[in-house]
Amino acid sequence: MSVATETAARTPASRVIELAGRGHRSIPVLVVLAIIWAVFYSQSSAYLSFRNITNLTLQIATTAILALGVVFVLLVGEIDLSSAVLSGVCAAIAAGLAVNSGLPLPVAIAVAIASGMAITLIEALVITFGVPSLIVTLGGMVILQGLILVVLPPEFTVSVAGTSFAKIASTAVPAGTSYVLAALGTLAFALYKAYQYRERLSTGARTSPVSVVVPAALVAAVLFGGVYILTRQRGLPMPVLIVAVMLLIAWYFTTQTRYGIHLYAVGGDREAAQRAGIPVRRMVVYSFLILGACAAVAGMVDASRQLGVSVTSGAGPLMLNAIAAAVVGGTSLFGGRGSIWSAILGALVIGSISNGVQLLGLTTEVQYFATGSVLIIAVAVDVVLTRGSLWPGRRS
Amino acid sequence: MSLLELTNISKHFGGVRALHDIDMTVDQGEVVALIGDNGAGKSTLVKIVSGVESPDSGEIRVRGESARLVSPRAAAEAGIRTVFQDLSLCDNLDAVQNLFLGQERSGSVLTGRRIRRHVMEEQAQRILESLSVKLRSLHTPVVALSGGQRQGIAICRALISDPAVVILDEPTAALGVSQRGEVLDLIGRLREQGRGVVVISHDMKDVRHIADRVVVLRLGTKVAEFRRGEYTPSDLVSAMTGAHEEGGDL
């Protein structure tokens, strides 16, 4: 074998690239995040105060939820530009039903989610028919901008202040309950890892209890640390809990199930996936359905936080921020590479920049310059990792 | 009894005669090389045997039983597996995921079809070992593996369903010298396992090295068949190009 000689000939730089290209993609993002936090903290110690971190998590919740949906679409090698406006449409539907028509909140939420999925289903069917997703969702975005005018009442705004709808975002889970949830989460994860450990032992595979203890300790640290920081004010904000639950479900299905393998296979090589008997088109449709549900949830959380829906809901930088978050977090635009963690990590990076810029009272230009630069650098890193070499025209 | 027996297989594409009355057998533990110039009909024959195309006429028997290979799935169920030249591997998935792609071992719907990774890993290990395919890790995406290792995984994938006949389309094309040797060893091990192997190749050296029998196609017809040691390289070339028709005909 020539493997040994190949490895020896590699430079340290290319070895780092190779390592980072293999599933350790969260590490560069965490490094970038640490740098951003260090820079802003050196300018203002209020940046890493409990109050500001809690604030930050509320600010990024909408972007993170939408980015999660976008990750599913990027993983199958498609793109979406319409989901931010769709989130506005779904929020308008939910607020209209709950506030103006007086329907129970759960019904309104269910209808909004179903509407979001129905709209992305139509888009997905056109895409699997053969029209590029860029065009379908670009056209879809414009159509949805019209649709939100139809859905909103004549005054083009629904106020949800003082209603049960507003409680979605303003509810805070008491500290005690939050700690119990964190403990339950840790316990469930540890038990699952232990179950996997026993499964592996039963086949005589090489394994050690470290594969249970280390991940469980990591999850415990993140959950309890998060709860400790975020309950300093009033309790754990509901949007944070929503994001956490959605990430948990997405993690299970993308990494532990047959669906997950097929999702990555379709993004990696459609031809090969098709030959292996995977229903490629159906997988694309599933991704868009998930995006539709995420968009609806993101829209409702946002409307609840802004205390209303208007024509500008879902407009502005939300769409680009969600795509940028997914990509900055390490999900490839070319499909098949990335993880659901990129949604939350990328949203944290982008949110941390805008939060810091506002905290320091810097001008909006600075925020745009910084966010744009981080996005381009992140895609450049993705290109290098996908290519496996620092310079163009070489492959490892 | 032959593992695979083709009788009078013909195929037309419109007015073009792609295959005409092809007879061919593959026995247990035998490597049959299929050679011929471009357009000789090798690909069409492979497509018919792997269930991608249906023949216009003729009969296919697998283990003595008549088989209708209407789809790749039907061919696989009949016991014929094909490794195409492009290998059809997903670069971003690891060896285990590629081996079981489309036929994962998973739990019930209640668990959301949870992957039984430990079962898959154990089976993968056994199949990889049976062909002595060595990987540094089962968790590495296959894009990071060598050409020989990738070919090994593609062949092992064909073995997951324990087929009687394995068809390899240009397995050594685009490989370096050491990796080529590795793949030829793999083919030898398939033969030792008692399977029938059909190898499509352009490389005369490989064919002489590995094949127990050589079937030569030219312009859609079988023009010659040689047993190991009963031919010279120039016999093959002249049969392929039709330089002198009677060259080594049986």
Q: What is the pLDDT of residues B136-188, one digit of tens each?
A: 889 889 988 988 899 999 999 999 988 999 999 999 887 888 888 889 999 99
Q: Which residue has the higher pLDDT, A315 or A293?
A: A293
Nearest residue in A to B114, CA atom: A257
pLDDT of residue B85: 87
Q: Do B90 and A3 touch (CB under 8 A)?
A: no
pLDDT of residue A355: 94
pLDDT of residue B248: 45
Closest CA to A2 of A10, A231, B201: A10
Residue of A6, A7, A18, A203 to mutate for B, most B C-beta atoms under 10 A = A203
pLDDT of residue B244: 59
Residues of B with Cβ-Cβ distance to A339 under 8 angstroms: none
Closest CA to A87 of A286, A315, A284: A315
φ and ψ at residue A186, rounded to 5 degrees: -60, -45
Q: Do A256 and B114 touch (CB under 8 A)?
A: yes
Position A254 pLDDT exceeds 90: yes
pLDDT of residue A17: 62
The total number of residues written for chain B in this structure = 250
Position B98 pLDDT exceeds 90: yes
Report which residue type is found at A58: L
DSSP alpha helices (H): ranges in B31-135?
A: 42-49, 72-78, 95-99, 117-130
Residue among B90, B111, B117 whose CB faces A273 most closely: B90
Cβ atoms A268, A90 nearer than 8 A: no
Residues of B with Cβ-Cβ distance to A3 under 8 angstroms: 136, 146
Report which residue type is found at A383: V
What is the least distance, in Å, from the CA of B99 to any CA of chain A?
A: 10
Residue of B99, B114, B118 to mutate for A, most A C-beta atoms under 10 A = B118
3-class state of residue A310 by DSSP: strand
- ipTM of this predicted structure: 0.86
pLDDT of residue B242: 83
Looking at every residue in chain B, the average pLDDT score rounds to 90
At residue A269 the predicted structure's pLDDT band, cuts being 50, 70 and 90, is very high
Express as a percent the part of chain B with pLDDT over 90: 60
At residue B249 the predicted structure's pLDDT band, cuts being 50, 70 and 90, is very low
At residue A13 the predicted structure's pLDDT band, cuts being 50, 70 and 90, is low
Distance CA A112, CA B184 (A): 60
Q: Do B112 and A277 touch (CB under 8 A)?
A: no
Distance CA B203, CA B181 (A): 13
In chain B, DSSP finds a helix count (H) and a strand count (E) of: 8, 10
At residue B197 the predicted structure's pLDDT band, cuts being 50, 70 and 90, is very high
Q: Do B92 and A336 touch (CB under 8 A)?
A: yes
For residue B106, give the DSSP letter.
Answer: B
3-class state of residue A361 by DSSP: coil
Closest CA to A203 of B188, B219, B120: B120
Residue among A203, A252, A396 whose CB faces B112 most closely: A252
Residues of A with Cβ-Cβ distance to B134 under 8 angstroms: 1
Q: What are the C-alpha distances in Å from B67 to residues B48, B58, B126, B169?
A: 12, 11, 30, 22
Closest CA to B50 of B218, B165, B173: B165
Q: Average the pLDDT over each of A19-23, A91-95, A289-293, B220-224 and give the range with the smallest value.
A: A19-23
Q: Do B92 and A264 touch (CB under 8 A)?
A: yes
User: Number of Cβ pairs closer than 8 Å across A and B?
Assistant: 103
Read off the pLDDT of each residue in A186-202 and give the average, rounded to a whole number: 93
Position B125 pLDDT exceeds 90: yes
Nearest residue in A to B73, CA atom: A277
Q: Do A3 and B136 touch (CB under 8 A)?
A: yes
Q: Do A257 and B119 touch (CB under 8 A)?
A: no
Read off the pLDDT of each residue in A292-302 and give the average, rounded to a whole number: 97
Residues of B with Cβ-Cβ distance to A385 under 8 angstroms: none
Q: Chain B: which residues have CB within 8 Å of chain A?
A: 72-73, 84, 86, 88-93, 97, 101-104, 106, 111-119, 121-122, 134, 136, 139-141, 143-144, 146, 148, 176, 178-179, 182
